[in-house]
Amino acid sequence: MNFKCLLVTFLLYSCSNKMSPDIEQSISNDLVMNTATLALEGDINVIPNDGKTLFLCFSKSEPVTSFIVTDLNGNIIHAREVIRGQIRWQDAESLLVTDSPGVIEDPTSKVEPSSRIIFLKSEKI
């Protein structure tokens, strides 16, 4: 009788523990990809920040790159488009965005792209 009680207690305890980190990461990846697929078109690239708490998701359709930033639950924190530009993580909570908006009428003219940092900590859509 004691053995059965101990076995039932062990089974209940092991079933009540939270999911393994691998399973949680897999669910988080699915949530991020589902959000990115709904918000963006084309081939989607996903780059996590250093802490893997935010995800930069983008798709290129020349000359425009559309991007969103999501949290672990797939909530969109920031969304924007960049013309003839690039997006990358500046640090764990900010992006460096470089783009060249407008029309270049003279292809021989030297047009400098503009760069700006987007701080995500204070943003939420």
80-102 pLDDT tens trace: 999 888 899 999 999 999 987 66
User: Which pTM does this prediction carry?
Assistant: 0.71
Judge whether residue 105 has pLDDT over 90. Answer: no
18-55 pLDDT tens trace: 545 565 566 667 889 989 999 998 899 999 999 999 99
- Mean residue pLDDT across the chain: 78
Taking the C-alpha atoms of residue 29 and residue 55, their distance in angstroms, rounded to an integer, is 9
Write b or e for each residue in 93-111: b if 16 or more Cβ atoms lie within 10 A of its Cβ, otherwise e. bebebebeeeeeeeeeeee
Greater model confidence, 69 or 120: 69
Mean predicted confidence (pLDDT) in 67-92: 92
